[in-house]
Amino acid sequence: MIKGHERINAVAGLLLAVVMLGMILFEYSGSHVIAAIAGGLAVLVVLAFCLSVPAKEVTFVAIGLVLVIWAMATHQDWPAGLLKAVETGTFVIALYCALSALRSAAIRSPAILECGRFLARQPPGRRYLALTIGGHLFGLILMYGSIALLGSLAVESTASEPDARIRRLRLRRMLVAIQRGFAATLCWSPLTFSMVITLALVPGASWGAVLLPCLVTTALMIAVGWAMDTIFKPRLTQTPPPRPPESGSWLRYLRPLILLLAIVAAGTLLLYLLTGVEVIGAVMTLVPLIALIWSFAQADPALGPRLPQTRRRVAAFLMQELPTYRSQIVLLFMAGFIGSLGAFVLVPAIQRTGLDLTVLPPQLIVVAMVWLVPLTGQIGMNPILAVSLLVPLLPSPEVLGIPPAAMVVAITGGWALSGTTSPFTASVLLVASFGKIPPRDVGLKWNLAYVLVMGVLISLWALLLTVLP
């Protein structure tokens, strides 16, 4: 049976490549026929993965089926709602697979690994800032892989510390820095699900228009984290042994990462200018190509021609590596699916009750979104699911009389806070595994004060945006 599951998962991994290609073609053509074919294959992949994922993921599939029955029973136009929900879930996992390809190539790069080690070796006075900025830059490319990569290097760098208390404290500060740096990417990066889904749901919002306000949120998250780490750092009863100063140029070690980011940014801009495709479509096109070229460059000439090595590497990624992410893929698809279909059936139902959210002050709605996303994360709701359910219920920014940027800042800011507190998110689970503590302790002990401070600051910033011209 195990071998049978492995074969099914391998075929599902190959189908994911077709799904990704289909959604890329959809971004350029706008053909919903192509999207429907890709969506059908994505549903087959999810069902195949359900044979070998934990019950929690299967529960989300069951909720999705209940929503399908509800939609069929209450809406004559349920096929349109169902197709839209499948399309949303398919887009999410297609983007995840594209970014996973780049992550797979990056973590095998000696230069990228050495860059991470250089950041982890920084002395205490600048280690937090180095790791939070490093976590941010790595997170732009590697997503959760940035925490996996830098977290493992943090464990490696602290393993030689003989004092157990110093080792625990140092590891905690390093892991928190990495996690918060990654979470800050959720506020602005066009490669993140937070930005992609929020822009799709908030009428009138565009990435170019919200970039600067969202970068302010990012700067606040990085600066406040560094300030709190500096102010509240633990006081040791004994002086730790002196560490040799870190040598080496920052530019030299960070050059590979900066170059990679520059290639992605420049390529995305070029594709946008040449084709007019949306930023996320350009990214989804570009990053698998970069991963493929990078894998070809990483091939060892001593082991034979590069092309056969690259083919084997691609096959291994699709048939072996991608299926190991099956739990994440099922959760991501179902979060997008449930959010879209849930909004489809809930919005008319709520409208029939006569509930009119336009009577609420717009500022109250904006602040509520900052806090609702992390709060729902405490009860197991993925931010994709929470945002996809909540935002369609809200009046548009135009109706509320506020700029779309205020709503986007509130939602993505709350999404970032959820990424540091929710015990059900991948970022918190990864940090907990490296720190060897329960996931809830990461959110409610390591990050609670930080999240409360940041929640207030993001709320004030979003409120200010509601009154700016």
- Contact (Cβ atoms closer than 8 angstroms) between residue 304 and residue 118: no
Length of the chain equals 469
304 domain-assigned:
yes
Average pLDDT in the chain: 90
pLDDT category, 237, cuts 50, 70, 90?
Answer: low
Q: What is the DSSP letter of 236?
A: P
Indicate if the pLDDT at residue 41 is higher than 90.
yes
Q: Per-residue pLDDT for 241 more than 70?
A: no
DSSP assignment of 238-275 = SPPPP-PPP-S-HHHHHHHHHHHHHHHHHHHHHHHHHH
Quote the CA–CA distance of 326 and 308 in Å, as a whole number.
Answer: 27
**Residue 22 falls within a domain, yes or no?**
yes
Count Cβ atoms below 10 Å from residue 403 Cβ, excluding itself.
Answer: 21
> How far is it, in rounded angstroms, from Cα 17 to Cα 429?
27
Residue type, 335: A
**pLDDT of 240:** 57
Read off the pLDDT of each residue in 420-432 and give the average, rounded to a whole number. Answer: 90
Residues 39/45/46/48 CA torsion (nearest 10 deg): 150
Range with the lowest mean pLDDT among 50-59, 72-81, 412-421, 438-447? 50-59
Question: Contact at 8 Å (CB) between 220 and 457?
Answer: yes
Asked, for residue 326, whether it belongs to a domain, the answer is: yes
Share of the chain above pLDDT 70, in %: 96
Whether 75 maps to a domain, the answer reads yes
Alpha-carbon distance values, 196 to 41, 206, 346, 362, 417 (Å): 22, 10, 22, 23, 17
* Residue 1, pLDDT score: 45
C-alpha–C-alpha distance, residues 215 and 205, integer Å? 15
Q: Which structural domain, as residue segments, surrounds residue 116? A: 2-234+260-467
Distance from chain centroid for Cα 176: 17
**What SS3 state is found at 232?**
coil
pLDDT at 104 over 70: yes
What's residue 236's pLDDT?
61
Where is average pLDDT lowest: 287-291, 296-300, 311-315, 346-350? 346-350
Give 166-223 pLDDT, tens digit per residue: 888 889 999 999 999 999 999 999 889 899 899 989 999 998 899 999 999 999 999 9
CA angle 414, 415, 420 (to 5 degrees): 95
The whole-number pLDDT of residue 226 equals 95
pLDDT score of 245 more than 60: no
- 69 pLDDT higher than 80: yes
Cβ pair 107, 149 in contact under 8 A: yes
Q: What is the per-residue pLDDT across 52-67, written as a single tens digit (0 to 9) for each?
A: 998 888 999 999 999 9
- pLDDT confidence tier of residue 26, bands split at 50, 70 and 90: very high
76-90, 119-133, 303-317: least confident range: 119-133
Alpha carbon distance 74, 264 (integer Å):
45
Question: What token pair was written down for 458?
Answer: 């993001």
Contact call for residues 156 and 173 (beta carbons, < 8 A): no
Q: Is 422 helix (H, G, I), strand (E, B) or coil?
A: coil
Give the pLDDT band of residue 286 (cuts 50, 70, 90): very high
Q: Is 255 part of any domain? A: no
Q: Would residue 240 count as lying in a domain? A: no
Residue of 54 and 463 predicted with greater confidence: 463
Report how far residue 232's alpha carbon sits from residue 175's, in angstroms, rounded to the nearest whole number.
16
Residue with the bigger pLDDT between 315 and 248: it is 315
pLDDT at 2 over 70: no
The amino acid sitting at 371 is W
How many domains in the chain?
1
* CA 180/CA 450 separation, integer angstroms: 10
Task: Supply the DSSP string of 304-360, one letter for each residue.
Answer: S-HHHHHHHHHHHIIIIIGGGGHHHHHHHHHHHHHHHHHHHHHHHHHHHTT--GGGS
Q: Which amino acid is at 67?
A: L
- The predicted model gives 409-417 an average pLDDT of 97
> What is the rounded CA–CA span in Å between residue 73 and residue 48?
27
Q: Which two tokens stand for residue 391?
A: 């935002």
Enter the tokens of residue 400: 């509320």
> Which residue carries 């195990």 as its tokens?
2
Q: Is residue 246 part of a domain?
A: no
Of all residues in the chain, what percent carry a pLDDT higher than 90? Answer: 62
Distances (CA, A) of 181 to 118, 130, 146, 461: 16, 10, 10, 19
Calculate helix-pair angle for 78-106, 145-158, nearest 10 degrees.
40
Residue 413 CB-density burial (10 A; 0-12 exposed, 13-18 middle, 19+ buried): buried
Distance CA 111, CA 256 (A): 6
Pick from 37-41, 116-120, 135-139: least confident? 116-120
Report pLDDT digits (tens) over 383-395.
Answer: 998 998 899 989 9
* Domain annotation covers residue 366: yes
